Amino acid sequence: MAQAKPLAVDYSQENGALQVLPRLPLLSSHQFAWDGILVQYHQQPAWETHEHCHTQHVIGIRHLQGEQIANAEFVIVPATAPHKDFWQQETDFILFSVEPARIAQIAHESVDGDRIELKSYIGMCDPVIYQIGRLFQSELKSNGLGSRLYADSLTTALSVQLLRNYCTKEQLIREYTNGLSKYKLQQAIAYINDNLTEDLSLEAIASHLQISVYYFARLFKQSMGVTPHQYVIQQRVQRAKQLLKQQNKLSISEVAFQVGFAHQSHLSRHFKRILGVTPKEICKK
């Protein structure tokens, strides 16, 4: 008699977690439709799952609290790998569900190798992935204010760290130096400035330049000294400053929307951080 296949859990489905967990996540990126990744923050009671597998690669971090990672537990479950889990008391954890195609794309762009397989892992938390987890958790709590470009950047960093350290075979990550060519950099800056109000993605900018996402993200930072996401925020703040100084006054919320920020509070936070003054202070001048 053939052995029954384990239940396949697809976290990309809105209530997919309920196939193996008793509660829905407290926070989820499902509404943001980030490219190739779903991020969820859970608080679950003591529980034991039945055997199952995942459609995506699943990375979990338990006890994601505070600045210290000493008590954090880190788990990797590759897609399709049979898996059971249990915990004996209520616990909190963050889950990354990464589409295999996203890992494969970044591997194709960044790794010298033909066959890429993630390995199962459980143990002490990786410091880099722990920090990425904290940043993603903050992004969920802010209701996705950091934009698709920010989520893309974190997903790329997570994928590269997995490829570098958690494959069944050691992978050589390609290193790029010297930044983008002058022409490519001008193309990138022009595209960003022309689409500043849009929900930009690394994929869209890299595709416009006809280069890979990984190559673009690495070399743009080498050329500009900041990540693409940081550069976009800086440009939005500078454009907002120009609009706020104009005589035909727009409200701060109208300016925030016109330059690509989701909310006035989002503009105000970055405005103060970058320029050292608030939008209201600029208006008064």
Identical fold between 18-165 and 235-284: no
**pLDDT score at 114:** 60
pLDDT of the residue at 137: 93
pLDDT on residue 211: 92
- 52-54 and 47-48 strand pairing: unpaired
Query: So what's the pLDDT on residue 67?
Result: 54
CATH class (in words) of the domain with range 235-284:
mainly alpha
Looking at residue 64, its pLDDT comes to 62
Q: What backbone torsions phi and psi does residue 124 show, to the nearest 5 degrees?
A: -60, 145
Domain ranges of the chain: 18-165, 182-225, 235-284
DSSP-derived secondary structure for 110-163: HB--S---B--EEEEPPHHHHHHHHHHHHHHHTTSTTHHHHHHHHHHHHHHHHH
pLDDT on residue 125: 86
Q: Hey, what CATH class is 18-165 in?
A: mainly beta
- pLDDT for 283: 82
Whether the Cβ atoms of residue 159 and residue 97 lie closer than 8 Å to each other: no
pTM listed for this prediction: 0.88
Digit-by-digit pLDDT tens for the chain (285 residues) are 456 788 999 999 989 999 999 999 999 999 998 999 999 999 999 999 999 999 999 999 987 665 556 667 899 999 999 999 988 999 999 999 999 999 988 888 777 556 788 999 999 889 999 999 999 999 999 887 778 899 999 999 999 999 999 998 877 777 778 899 999 999 999 999 999 999 899 999 999 999 999 899 999 999 999 999 999 999 999 999 999 988 667 899 999 999 999 889 889 999 999 999 999 888 877
CA distance 59 to 120: 10
pLDDT at site 1? 45
